[in-house]
Amino acid sequence: MNLVEEFTFKAQLKPPLPVGAGPIGTRMYYDVSGGEVIGDRIRGKLLGGGEWALIGPDGFLRPDVRLQIETHDGAYLYIQYVGLLELNETVQSALANGTGTEYGDQYFFTNPRIETGDERYAWVNTTFFIGEGHLLPNSSVEYRVWRPA
Amino acid sequence: MNLVEEFTFKAQLKPPLPVGAGPIGTRMYYDVSGGEVIGDRIRGKLLGGGEWALIGPDGFLRPDVRLQIETHDGAYLYIQYVGLLELNETVQSALANGTGTEYGDQYFFTNPRIETGDERYAWVNTTFFIGEGHLLPNSSVEYRVWRPA
Amino acid sequence: MNLVEEFTFKAQLKPPLPVGAGPIGTRMYYDVSGGEVIGDRIRGKLLGGGEWALIGPDGFLRPDVRLQIETHDGAYLYIQYVGLLELNETVQSALANGTGTEYGDQYFFTNPRIETGDERYAWVNTTFFIGEGHLLPNSSVEYRVWRPA
Amino acid sequence: MNLVEEFTFKAQLKPPLPVGAGPIGTRMYYDVSGGEVIGDRIRGKLLGGGEWALIGPDGFLRPDVRLQIETHDGAYLYIQYVGLLELNETVQSALANGTGTEYGDQYFFTNPRIETGDERYAWVNTTFFIGEGHLLPNSSVEYRVWRPA
């Protein structure tokens, strides 16, 4: 399968709310205060959203994210995804120190689904996306988002 | 089945983002900026959250809501629910005019699920809740939340 | 809130597949081989389905069920629900011995959502349901399903 | 992003139940009666499952699938996925005639998530999978399933 990169995006996270160890794992909520989307076919900003992360006994964080995007030309997009983030030593150290990681420093993949009613972006409703993430300093996350070519 | 009322809560909504007519219906996003929870066993405030509403061809809005609560004594709770809200004339008029409705003016029911790791509130993880809602003036929603007796 | 009983249904379960302790709990799969639905406005049979149960560290089983119904007059309905089942001593004993329990012997509630395109049953799409369950002998489950009056 | 192929699998579908045009699209249910999984690290058979497909106004079918796998050495795996299948002319013709299509004849991608408690297959719980599908004659579907290298 060949993939092409469609866009990248950054999300700024607020300090987490420790909901704690519940019936299906340890829940941490991160409010997303903003961010930006950069690509040839989509450019815009994150209006906000949230990440309801679930930390499992296997050392993986399973993100469950919902975000709103406003494109540079005024379309509203809703993006949601789940995925896998390996909380390895590099990630734990970066989280503890407020530093970042590189792509490939961790296993961090997602499957974004995007919805919109804006005709100019109708293609996002029928595009399958794969995101690869890494950490940026100061509680931000960056993803590059691919699609099958 | 006998139900007893457990708590009520109010959620203040921001003006919606019209994501628009997508693959499974017309999506409207409402940011939840705050609110309060009042009950004998739970009291606190909403820290925020969102409603990813889906408006169907049948005249019903299907809310899909995720909220964070901080109790008066410092526990963090995550509440999520889906449900049914009939967009009848009373509701449409109230939404258009920024006024409210009474309980019973519309068919508006939800099934909240609440998670927390805080031992003082462990009972919410294993309690089945039913919410009945109505509109408050100025884009707020109020629910009374029941559980089987 | 006043509830009225809309229908009851029985589901026959096959012996479970022990998927085992995974990232969000212990998964057990029960194939649903058949059953029946009895009510004034809905009568029919279960064509099949499945229950992807999740057993938590809190002694509750969280059912995640999807079923297909064929009504006596030829409509196809899809019903899905999640809920809570307390695995107390009465339930554990009944499961071990292949016996049943009574309503009220356990905390067992669900929120069924039903879909259909059949005009004669269009009301199910916009009705909020609450199910209360108990065990029948020989690996069956019975629910009575209520709606707000 | 580099992907490597992990396994392929085939699923045999029964004739669909036309649940019909409901609140979020046109629902078709396909019972999965069997199938097989072939790969270096996973081999086994499908014990059954179902596909709750949703056909949208945009000409795409959105599969929502849950399957049970028994590996050749006795482990039980639960696999679930959603995705996108373009109902283009090639697919519609194949469905009408009971024939197959090739990989690449349609846009057909999924994001399988697999759970198990079996230690020998613990790696599936923390692996991100991407599936590409096509139709086989006589109502079967075949996928090749990739993971990031």
pLDDT tens for each residue of C87-142 = 999 999 999 999 999 999 999 999 999 999 999 999 999 999 999 999 999 999 99
Closest in A23, A58, A62 to C60, CB measured: A23
Looking at the complex, report in whole angstroms how far the Cα of residue C62 sits from the nearest Cα belonging to chain A. Answer: 9
Phi, psi at residue D96, to the nearest 5°? -70, -35
Q: What would the two tokens of residue C136 be? A: 């029948």
Query: For residue B121, is pLDDT > 90?
Result: yes
Closest in A23, A54, A57 to C62, CB measured: A23
Which candidate in C5, C24, C125, C126 is best for mutational testing of the B interface (most B CBs within 10 A)?
Answer: C126
Convert the pLDDT of each residue in D116-127 to its tens digit: 999 999 999 999
User: Which residues of C make CB contacts under 8 Å with D?
Assistant: 17-24, 26-27, 29, 31, 47-50, 52, 66, 68, 70, 76-78, 115-118, 125-126
Give me the pLDDT at residue A78, please. Answer: 98
Q: For residues B110 and B131, is the Cβ–Cβ distance under 8 A?
A: yes
Please give the average per-residue pLDDT across B94-123, as a whole number: 97
CB atoms A23 and C25 under 8 Å: yes
- CA-to-CA distance for D23 and C78, rounded, in angstroms? 12
Tracing tokens 């209360």 back to the chain, one arrives at: C132
What is the chain C residue with the closest CA to A26? C24
Query: For residue C64, is pLDDT > 90?
Result: yes
CB atoms D60 and A146 under 8 Å: no
Q: For residues B139 and B13, is the Cβ–Cβ distance under 8 A?
A: yes
Give me the pLDDT at residue B1, please. Answer: 87
Closest listed residue to residue B51, CA positions, set B63, B37, B39: B63
Q: How buried is D72 (Cβ within 10 angstroms: 0-12 exposed, 13-18 middle, 19+ buried)?
A: exposed
Strands C43-55 and C17-22: unpaired
Residues from chain D that touch C65, judged by Cβ atoms under 8 A, are none
Average pLDDT of chain C is: 97
Which candidate in D4, D106, D126, D143 is best for mutational testing of the A interface (most A CBs within 10 A)?
Answer: D126
- DSSP-derived secondary structure for chain D: --EEEEEEEEEEEPPPEEEEEETTEEEEEEEEEEEEEEESS-EEEEEEEEEEEEE-TTSEEE-EEEEEEEETTS-EEEEEEEEEEE--HHHHHHHHHT----TTSS-EEE--EEE---GGGGGGGG---EEEEEEETTTEEEEEEEEE-
Residues from chain A that touch D82, judged by Cβ atoms under 8 A, are 113
Convert the pLDDT of each residue in B9-36 to its tens digit: 999 999 999 999 999 999 999 999 999 9
Q: For residues D116 and D77, is the Cβ–Cβ distance under 8 A?
A: yes
Give me the pLDDT at residue A1, please. Answer: 87
Closest listed residue to residue A19, CA positions, set A11, A7, A27, A31: A27
CB atoms C52 and D66 under 8 Å: yes
- For C50, C104, C133, D31, the CA distances from C145, given in Å and listed in that order, are 18, 14, 9, 25
Three-state SS for B25-84 is EEEEEEEEEEEEEEECCCEEEEEEEEEEEEECCCCEEECEEEEEEEECCCCEEEEEEEEE
Closest listed residue to residue B45, CA positions, set A144, A17, D53: A17
Neighbours of D115 (CB within 10 A): 22
- The strand pairing partners of A118, in sequence order, are none
Closest listed residue to residue A115, CA positions, set A68, A74, A64, A72: A68
Closest listed residue to residue A48, CA positions, set A86, A87, A78, A21: A78
Residues of chain D with pLDDT under 50: none
CB atoms D23 and C115 under 8 Å: yes
Q: For residues B48 and A31, is the Cβ–Cβ distance under 8 A?
A: yes
Residues from chain C that touch D49, judged by Cβ atoms under 8 A, are 50
- Please report, to the nearest 10 degrees, the dihedral formed by the alpha carbons of residues A79, A41, A124, A140 taken in order: -20
Q: D133 Cβ partners below 8 Å, 6+ apart?
A: D83, D85, D103, D108, D109, D110, D141, D142, D143
Amino acid at D144: R
3 state DSSP class of B1: coil
Q: How buried is C123 (Cβ within 10 angstroms: 0-12 exposed, 13-18 middle, 19+ buried)?
A: middle
Give me the pLDDT at residue C32, please. Answer: 98
- Please report, to the nearest 10 degrees, the dihedral formed by the alpha carbons of residues C112, C115, C120, C122 taken in order: 90
Q: What would the two tokens of residue D78 be? A: 């639960």
Q: D93 Cβ partners below 8 Å, 6+ apart?
A: D99
Long-range contacts of C95-104 (CB under 8 A, 24+ apart): C95/C135, C98/C137, C98/C138, C98/C139, C99/C135, C99/C137, C100/C134, C100/C135, C100/C136, C100/C137, C100/C140, C101/C134, C101/C135, C102/C134, C103/C132, C103/C133, C103/C134, C103/C144, C104/C134
Please give the average per-residue pLDDT across C60-67, as a whole number: 98
Strands D108-110 and C108-110: unpaired
- For A13, A122, C75, C112, the CA distances from A107, given in Å and listed in that order, are 19, 31, 47, 37
CB atoms A56 and C25 under 8 Å: no
Give me the pLDDT at residue C1, please. Answer: 87
- CA-to-CA distance for D111 and A84, rounded, in angstroms? 12
Looking at the complex, report in whole angstroms how far the Cα of residue C37 sits from the nearest Cα belonging to chain A. Answer: 31
Residues from chain A that touch B125, judged by Cβ atoms under 8 A, are 22-23
Closest listed residue to residue B23, CA positions, set A117, D29, D89: A117
CA atoms within 13 A on the CB side of D73: 7
CB atoms A109 and D84 under 8 Å: no
